[in-house]
Structure 1
Amino acid sequence: MNTIQKNLYQLLCEIDELCKSQDIQYFLAGGTALGVVRNHRFLPWDDDMDLYITRDNWAKLRDAVESGKVELPPNRELVYAENTPYYSNPIPRYVDTSTTAIYSSQMLPGRACGQHVEFLIMDPMPNEEQEKAEFLKNLRMYTELISPYFVVNKSLSIEDFREHAKEYKKLYAVAEKESLNAVLKDLDAKLHSCVESESKEMCMRWGIQTLIYQHADFGKSRPELFEGRMFPVGEHAEGILRDAYGDSWMYVPEVEDQVVHNALQDIEIPYEEYTKRYQPYVDKEKMLQSYRKNKNNSLSVFCLRREREKLAVEAQALIIRDTIKNELEEKLDDIRDNYNAKAYGAVRNIYRDYTQNQMNQYARKYNVYYNISDECMYYILMTAIQQGRYFEAQKYLNIRKQNEPLSEKLLEVQELIDYCRDLSIAIYDYDDVDRIKELLREAKSEWKELLDYGRAELWLNDRLAESELDWQQQKTRAEKWNQIYPEDGEVMAYLAESELKLGEKEKAEDLYNRAIHLTRNGIIWEKAKESVGLERIEEEYDLRK
């Protein structure tokens, strides 16, 4: 842990003790839960901490503090919209006032500006689709109205945002005539009208991104080791992580994809030493009105900006779309030859212009479509699948489905992607031996040479092996798959484990060391640590120094 993480960990320990004393249930959330489930520690780059808590449990915590039933430690505050003027945030914070972590959106209230742990409040959702749509509409309006500093719901489509902005201005006019608190209170009542025990899904009250989870995934919580101490995660935390981070949740992102937060951080100086330098000179009410006026103006021009941005992306696509398509058609023989030779890196190089443009964030944001032939699409999909990246293939296929019906050949690829995903869920989310047995039996003959099939077969026999003969057979099996996929760290890790079980510790250490540098699968990294003491995650920490 770095110094920021050590302080956050201390705050978590305090919250844990407080919640235990009042029979309050919470769960580790976000990147905190991700680090715990993968490697039982902080993500190396993590500089904040999130907890899930249901609306009812949050009310118990808030009431216990407000009533004096529990006393917070020195230099601690529980900050939320109802007890802090100008704190325009639906997410409460447990704050260390002896430190500093100032975000631009919290400069005006000047209170929740120390190192903090955030409580992500979960509300039960209606089960009926029409009522669910109304719930999400109210949620978006609540989060938009409560925040004067920036446009919250930017991820909506242009058409949906136009309706959202119209409704916002209508409700804001009511708020100006009556009061903003009255409007927010009315929306809050609508959002908290479902009975938790009857709801199948829970929604996090955030707004920037609509995060919906299966209620059953939280359950009664389960303890997980986190930096040497047990803390609660959802009963089916892996399912929560899959909902939040996608099918590749078990993989540690490359450094350039690791998200850090932009805040003024100081672990040694109280935030008041900073805020007192500007707070006395700020007319907060006047500044708040300026923020709201600016936001109203931003809402008015937001769609125009988005439409202009969309036109620019479409214009670029119009210029290069046919060139990309024709170049791929001309190289189709090379694509086939490289694919059949398992030279998947070479195939990816041929597709580079296509992938960079089709998967560009703006092309995806505005559904700008780069049409290529079914055969060209087939090879980019199968290349991803052959490399154990079915989730990447699914992204390409989703774009295709949004723009045209899938051919019979591509429907077969979709079936294969679904199969690979089922394998992943059975292994990582449920540790389900019987389900993997069933899926391996169901596999079509042409699927049995795929990397994900091999990984599943090795996973199953790793779970079932007991005798020396079992491990010798597992070693033979792993050697076969390692010959087919010599650069796959996950396959190599199974070979390493079989060598270890057969008493070949030196070979196992060498294989594990190679394996953890061929994969970014955090579960494999943790297995190498448990089996032979190799700390791959430490290298990620070193990169942050």
Structure 2
Amino acid sequence: MKYTEYDDKTLKHLQSLELMILKDFIKFCEKNNLTYYIYAGSMLGAIRHNGFIPWDDDLDVVMFRDDYERFKKVFLASPNEKYKLLSSETEDDYFHTLSKLMLKDTLFEEKWVDQVDFHVGINIDIFVLDDLSDDNFKRNYQLKKAFLYNKLLIMSKIKLDDLPFLTKTITHLGHYILKLFRVKPSTLHKRCLNFLMKYKNPNSRHVFDISATAEEYPQIYLKDDFKDIIKVKFEDIEVNVPKNYDNILKSLYGDYMQLPPEEDRYNHITEHLDFGPYAD
């Protein structure tokens, strides 16, 4: 069971800090005319619980590529004493295709952290939606190549041991090959972005999230499902949710209003959690 057994006080405090980050993120987006949506498990939490899923220890938002790139550009243009953006622009070792808005002087680290040269603090995840070709042949090629880029980025920096034997063997071999040829995550990020921008098309009917890989493919959505925005209660604030959230949540979770059995409730396996100056 992929589950960290937090005591109630620790989990509630962690969620309160993530909510603080979200509030500041929303203010930044509104000030700079950027569109965001609450996403994934956080969208599910907003609809089913009007806030965090009770056992959840992270918070997710998503942006279309143009807003996402502009967010990074504007945020990185001026120093910020409170937050740091973890992305390929700020860390050569960074191997995710999403970014993290991180609270400085805190720690929220998983067990792979000893394999990289950066620290991860308490954060919210910022995912991105990219255009997907409407041509079936091009779409399949795009999805498979995106899936490959996502896996190569991970393998280029870290080795994951909690995998089935064959998968672990293949990924470890890939890691050593990439290391031998000195292929860095920063190089792969640039190539991946160039590849994604090649298919940029405002008239495409579908978008996908390269980081949300299920089986062979990243997660696919109808672009129109994100067309209109509604406000939904999330803890003590209201957040942006796509009006057609039902289609999105069904594609992610099926019967999403049904609570999963306890053995299927999961969150991060944290190696280090430190609230720093934000401790009680």
Q: Same fold (TM over 0.5)?
A: yes
Corresponding residue number in structure 2 for 1:120? 127
Q: 1:178 to 1:96 in 2, by over 3 A?
A: closer
Which amino acid letter does the alignment assign opposite residue 242 of structure 2?
A: G
1:79 aligned residue (74, 79, 86): 86
Whole-angstrom CA distance in 1 between matches of 2:232 and 2:118: 32
Corresponding residue number in structure 1 for 2:55? 45
Corresponding residue number in structure 1 for 2:203? 198
8 Å contact from structure 1 (residues 85, 109) kept in 2: no
Corresponding residue number in structure 2 for 1:63? 73
8 Å contact from structure 1 (residues 99, 269) kept in 2: yes
CA RMSD of aligned residues (A): 3.0
8 Å contact from structure 1 (residues 125, 135) kept in 2: yes
Whole-angstrom CA distance in 1 between matches of 2:184 and 2:101: 28
Whole-angstrom CA distance in 1 between matches of 2:231 and 2:149: 33
Structure 2, gaps ≥5 residues long: 1-10
Q: TM-score, normalised by structure 1?
A: 0.43
1:15 aligned residue (22, 25, 28): 25
Pairing of 1:495-534 with structure 2 (within 5 A):
none
Q: 1:23 to 1:196 in 2, by over 3 A?
A: farther
8 Å contact from structure 1 (residues 114, 270) kept in 2: no
Corresponding residue number in structure 1 for 2:44? 34
Q: 1:179 to 1:224 in 2, by over 3 A?
A: closer
8 Å contact from structure 1 (residues 87, 106) kept in 2: no
Which amino acid letter does the alignment assign opposite residue 194 of structure 2?
A: A
Could you tell me how far 1:8 is from its partner in structure 2?
A: 0.6
SS in 2 for 1:211: strand
1:225 aligned residue (227, 233, 238): 233
Q: 1:64 to 1:250 in 2, by over 3 A?
A: same
Answer 1 or 2: which has greater strand percent. Answer: 2
Pairing of 1:24-423 with structure 2 (within 5 A):
24-68=34-78, 72=80, 74-148=81-155, 149-150=158-159, 172=178, 176=181, 181-206=186-211, 208-209=213-214, 210-246=218-254, 248-269=255-276
Could you tell me how far 1:112 is from its partner in structure 2?
A: 4.3
Which amino acid letter does the alignment assign opposite residue 233 of structure 2?
A: L
Which amino acid letter does the alignment assign opposite residue 176 of structure 1?
A: F
Which amino acid letter does the alignment assign opposite residue 95 of structure 1?
A: M
Corresponding residue number in structure 2 for 1:312? none
Question: Residue deviations 1:226-250, cap 9 Å, x none?
Answer: 112111011211111011111x111
SS in 1 for 2:20: helix
Question: Residue deviations 1:401-458, cap 9 Å, x none?
Answer: xxxxxxxxxxxxxxxxxxxxxxxxxxxxxxxxxxxxxxxxxxxxxxxxxxxxxxxxxx
SS in 1 for 2:181: helix
Which amino acid letter does the alignment assign opposite residue 235 of structure 2?
A: E
Answer 1 or 2: which has greater helix percent. Answer: 1
Could you tell me how far 1:82 is from its partner in structure 2?
A: 2.2
Q: 1:111 to 1:172 in 2, by over 3 A?
A: closer
8 Å contact from structure 2 (residues 107, 122) kept in 1: yes
Q: 1:47 to 1:207 in 2, by over 3 A?
A: closer
Which amino acid letter does the alignment assign opposite residue 21 of structure 2?
A: L
8 Å contact from structure 1 (residues 140, 207) kept in 2: no
Whole-angstrom CA distance in 2 between matches of 1:45 and 1:102: 18
Question: Residue deviations 1:269-313, cap 9 Å, x none?
Answer: 379xxxxxxxxxxxxxxxxxxxxxxxxxxxxxxxxxxxxxxxxxx
Whole-angstrom CA distance in 2 between matches of 1:76 and 1:42: 22
Question: Residue deviations 1:59-86, cap 9 Å, x none?
Answer: 1111101222xx53x3310110221121
